[in-house]
Amino acid sequence: MSDLAAPPPAPSASAPTAGLGASIRERRHQQELTLVALAERAGLSQPFLSQIENGRATPSMDSLYRIASALGTTPQALFGGGGRDGVGPMLARADDVSVAHIATPGESLRRLLLPGDAPFHVIELVGLATEFRERWQHPGTEALYVVAGPIEVEVDGEVHELHTGDFVSYPAHLPHRYRSTLGPAAKALLMETQLQSAQQGAHSAPGATSSSEQ
């Protein structure tokens, strides 16, 4: 495989990100995959994937989607949140929620509700970049609610400016990305349905792909 993606590793991994590596390794072992096999499925280099599993590198969102798709799961499920019994509420206190830094300094995902078996996931986005980054595509439906804006959301090449209280939803297979025009004070809730598990062949990996900015 040529042009394997090997983004430069982040200086250090936060505790949640280190847990992410352990989660990836556990799921890989459950599926009896070697590092090389998973790297090929995800379109990543084996050394970079090894660094992620050992908590020495932080994946970009694109890389994270690729790994999750190759394992037949979601990025949010990889970040944890055990299963639930489905008969009672699941409560997440503000001071119990951990932050996992992804891709670049200042950008982060704050986990709100991440049981691995939930049919959807809700994430608080904080510290959004002020420039558009890679476009993401993955199965399912995604929606974004602006807590503090404005935030620009680009879907399939069309840019929508959203202000505080605005909401947008879209099929997640369309190329999409977002950025803050407010700076680090911007906040949003990102909601997405769970990716389909490997029924459609996780071996073809990137059900999650990205395209570079033109």
Peptide bond before residue 150 is cis, with ω within 30 degrees of 0:
yes
- Does 111 lie in the same domain as 73? no
Of the candidates 112, 176, 174, which has an alpha carbon nearest to the alpha carbon of residue 147?
112
166 plus 102 within the same structural domain: yes
Per-residue confidence (pLDDT) for residue 66, from 0 to 100: 87
CB of 172 within 8 A of CB of 208? no
3-state secondary structure of 211: strand
- In a domain, residue 10? The reply is no
Domains of the chain: total:
2
Contact 78, 92 (CB under 8 A): no
Are 76 and 114 found together in one domain? Answer: no
Is 6 part of any domain?
no
Closest by alpha carbon to 106, among 124, 129, 125? 129
Cα–Cα distance between 127 and 187 in angstroms, integer?
7
Digit-by-digit pLDDT tens for the chain (214 residues) are: 334 544 434 434 445 566 789 989 999 999 999 999 999 999 999 999 999 999 888 887 778 888 988 998 877 778 765 455 556 777 767 766 555 555 555 556 666 555 555 677 788 888 788 888 878 887 789 999 999 999 999 999 999 999 999 999 999 999 999 999 988 789 999 998 865 533 333 333 444 555 544 3
Per-residue pLDDT at 139: 79
Domain of residue 33 covers 15-80
Tell me if 209 is assigned to some domain: no
Say if CB 102 and CB 108 are below 8 A apart.
Answer: yes
| Co-location of 101 and 168 in the same domain | yes
Give dist(CA 111, CA 109) in Å, integer: 6
Domain end position, chosen among 80, 108, 132: 80
Asked if residue 75 and residue 109 are part of one domain, the reply reads no
Contacting residues for 11 by C-beta, under 8 A, at least 6 apart: none
| pTM, entire model | 0.67
Q: Three-state SS for 64?
A: helix
Residues 170 and 136 reside in one and the same domain: yes
| CATH number, domain containing residue 29 | 1.10.260.40
